[in-house]
Structure 1
Amino acid sequence: MKILFVCGSIEPGRDGVGDYTMKLAAELSRQGNLCSVVAINDCHVLTEFSGYYNIDSIKMPVLRLPTKWPNKQRYHSASVWIEKQDPDWVSLQFVIYAFRPNGLPFGISTEMNKMLAGRKLHIMFHELWIGIERSRLIKTFITSTVQKGIIKHLLTTIKPSIIHTSLPYFQQRLADLGHHGKLLQVFSNIDRYEKNNKSENSCLFRIGIFSQIEIYSSVVLFLRALKEQADTSGIKFEIFLLGGIEAHMKAKAIQLREQLGDGYNVLVTGYLAPPALSKALHSCTLGLTSVPRHCLGKSGSVAAFIAHGIPVAAPHFLTNQGPYKIGFSSSNLCNAIILEPALEHIYLLKKNILHTANMIEVPAVAKKFISDLKEQYESRTRHSDNHQFIQSIVPAKRIG
């Protein structure tokens, strides 16, 4: 099967959805499909690039079109390139801010329809319109309303054959628009390298926070409770801020120390190459995220911890979603999430989490992706054949 992916940017390590798209395309190619990628609004290039990237030992045809080009020029160049690739399916990896920095890509429906007309279409919604739960700003409300209208118009215009999203919450939002979305798990963008054979240090409890963190009061209270238990048990307690932009993470470390008080060891790694990052993830006793519980399924950071066999604490939740709504459809993945600061439970869960890791790795997600596409195609083919058969046996009405 020939599958062409469309996303915003594919600068390695600088765009989460771009990294996701390239790894998924490479794995699908490894499984026997022919894949290519178009970055339709790439802010990391100044001129058009048409060529090949080597992704996980797979030679991948890619087209990168610079943000500074006018919309019509970018979409025209993409149309010509797509025509040459002639894919069986086009997969749009959608994040609304990928197509315009202000998140209001007016005209996207028309341009996408021209570019993709006549082709079987798939959309993966990594994000929908922004939520207004935590903001009272009129600007946020207006932006959210307009984004919802843009997405609704896009779906009505390009009529995708199949829709995926990563969250049950997003699935419900799509249903409210009258569209059925299937769930497809986000995977870890960080490959799992071989773990050292050294036994785990039982005298050290290390919490890893990967890439980003918001210092909510729920996060602070959770960390304080765990440290108190660790101190009582004579266990050294430290917090590891992994990856991300080093200056930003150092500022967060200062803020975290101020909120937690004295006696907390907060370390910042700065940028880590993939093997070193994988080793650092493995070294953690527990991951921690400030992503709201109902949105955990779209977090690449959460996926990275689970893929490395590390349970994840999620102390933050939105009041209107409740404390027990976890953003996974799989009970096994939900069970990898820590809701309460209990040291014994964390140690027990870590021993039993490894069987869950495979569910959140690229090969399993790629197989589900291709299976859903084939199922949709076969379903539509059967429907078309049945319709033609019925038409052939129903006598035409006489005129007059």
Structure 2
Amino acid sequence: MKIAFVTGCLEPGRDGVGDYVRTLAAECTARGHAVRLLSLADTVDLSADGGTPPTRRQTLAATCDDDGRGARAWLDEFRPDWTSLHFVPYAFHPRGLFAGRLPPLRRVLAAGARRHVFFHEIWIGFARGAPWKERAFGFLQRRALARLLHTTAPTAVHTSNGCYRRALAGLGCAASELPMFGSVPLRPGVVPAALPGVGADALVCGMFGAVHPNWEHEPFLSDFAQLAAARGRRAVLAAAGSLRQGEVLFPQLAAHWRGRIDCLALGLHPPAQLAEFFARFDFAVTTSPFHLVGKSSSAAALREHGLRVVVTNSGQPPRFAATPEDLAPADAGFLPYFRARESLPQALERTPPRPGASRTAEMFLAALAAHD
């Protein structure tokens, strides 16, 4: 197959969806498929970077100035069987109000004989009790997304979690779930890292990626400290990667739990080093809400390395689901601690490591091939 991947930004390391698209495209290429990469709201204008696979990056201003004609002409040269849009509303407008960007999107997507859309994000404001302003913006985003579906008529639609899948069903869109993958490849025979100041017998709970600044760490950290003490081990909370807004929270946690839990910020490291950290972790915790944990590439990376991931945040259920459990992730390796605190010891039971990107690519290609 010939697949043209379209997204907002493709600058490496700057945009999570762009990194996802690059990895997915590489997996497709490795399986003998021809690909092109196109970004429509990037930080630079590069008509073609001369690399492999062929890539064109352009700013949103450039896309809108010619109504997508230049990008469409570049894709027409390729004559793709599929155009695959990886969509986030905020890529095309700072508040996600992308209705004015629909004409160039429609023109670009029409380059493919068939169209595919992966909704990495949908609209905001669907949670019960959401503020009126959030609901108002969400209403406009939802209406624009419905128009996107109507005007592009995609043959196949994917998203990463049951919450978004059910929300899209409310628009008459029968989306399928495609599992998110992480950015830390498996390393056969990896040797666990020696964490700074941490003994070999310590019980280590890992975190990876952004930490929500309003994370309610109680009663989880109390239960974690008790779990370690019951086993005669020192409790360590080790955070790898960029904490983002959690940069302020983590020092506060260290001060609050001094003497009971050692809090260690490991910082940014290349994937090979992260794999060694993951091998040292005994289990992990995420601050993502339970019904949206499926869209977290950080949580996916931890699961791919065989770590059980504790979910402490039930989240505010959307209006179209009775409880968060109605939208539970398909992966049973996510432990709903918020529902049963006594389940925490189960987090120490590792699962077999599994490939992430390769498995998702095979599912993606099979879904497209089913429409041939």
The two structures share one fold, judged by TM-score above 0.5: yes
The C-alpha deviation readout for 1:339-378, integer Å capped at 9, x for no partner, is 246554222x21xx116x24xx11111111111111123x
1:1-400 alignment to 2 at 5 Å?
Answer: 1-43=1-43, 45=44, 47-53=45-51, 59-69=52-62, 71-73=64-66, 75-117=68-110, 119=112, 120-133=114-127, 136-197=130-191, 203-216=201-214, 218-244=216-242, 248-257=245-254, 260=257, 263-320=260-317, 322=323, 324-325=325-326, 327-329=328-330, 333-337=331-335, 339=337, 340=341, 342=343, 344-347=345-348, 349-350=349-350, 353-354=351-352, 357-358=354-355, 361-377=356-372
- Residues 242 and 52 (structure 1), Cα distance of their counterparts in 2 relative to 1, 3 Å cut: farther
Instruction: Give how far 1:132 is off.
Output: 4.2
Counterparts of 1:270 and 1:5 in 2: how far apart (Å)?
A: 32
Contact 2:193 2:277 in 1 (8 A): no
- Per the TM alignment, residue 210 of structure 1 is displaced from its structure 2 partner at its CA by 0.9
Q: What are the superposed Cα offsets for residues 367-400 of structure 1, whole Å, 9 maximum, x if unpaired?
A: 11111111123xxxxxxxxxxxxxxxxxxxxxxx
Q: 1:290 to 1:86 in 2, by over 3 A?
A: same
State the 1:117 CA deviation: 2.6
Bigger CA drift: 280-289 or 300-309?
280-289
Letter in 2 for 1:241: A
For the 8 Å contact 1:216–1:290, the answer to whether it is kept is: no
Alpha carbons of structure 1 residues 5 and 145: separation in structure 2 relative to 1, 3 Å: same
Q: Which runs of 5+ in 2 are unaligned?
A: none
Number of aligned positions between the proteins: 360
Identify if the C-alpha distance between structure 1 residues 74 and 262 changes in structure 2 by more than 3 Å, giving closer, same or farther.
farther
CA–CA distance in structure 2, aligned partners of residues 288 and 261 of structure 1: 19
Q: Structure 1 residues 5 and 33, CA, compared in 2 at 3 Å: closer, same or farther? A: same
Q: Provide structure 1 residue ranges, at least 5 long, that are not aligned to the other structure.
A: 54-58, 378-400
Query: What is the alpha-carbon distance in structure 2 between the residues aligned to residue 271 and residue 76 of structure 1?
Result: 40
1:89-142 Cα deviation digits (max 9, x unpaired): 000001111112221112222222222336310001111101342665322111
Which has the greater radius of gyration? 1
2:203–2:234 Cα contact (<8 Å) kept? yes
Distance 1:290 1:366, change over 3 A: same
**C-alpha contact 2:67 2:104 (8 A) present in aligned 1:** no
The RMSD of aligned alpha carbons is 2.4
* CA-CA distance at 1:77 after TM superposition: 2.3
- The one-letter code of the counterpart of 2:180 is V
Partner of 1:60: helix, strand, or coil? Answer: coil
Measure how far apart 1:335 and its partner are.
3.7
Provide TM-score, normalisation by structure 2.
0.89
**Percentage identity across aligned positions?**
27
Give the Cα–Cα distance (whole angstroms) in 2 for the partners of residues 301 and 77 of structure 1. 35
Q: 1:40 to 1:244 in 2, by over 3 A?
A: same
Q: Is the 8 A contact 1:215 1:256 kept in 2?
A: no
Q: Does the CA-based 8 Å contact 2:160-2:180 persist in structure 1?
A: yes
SS across alignment from 1:209: strand
1:303-330 CA distances to partner (integer Å, 9 max, x unpaired)? 100111111010101253635345423x
Deviation at 1:150, TM superposition (A): 0.4
Tell me how far apart the structure 2 counterparts of residues 226 and 326 of structure 1 sit (CA, whole Å). Answer: 26
Q: Within 1, Cα distance between the matches of 2:111 and 2:66?
A: 21
| Distance change in 2, residues 1:285/1:139 (3 Å) | same
Question: How many angstroms apart in 1 are the aligned matches of 2:50 and 2:343?
Answer: 49
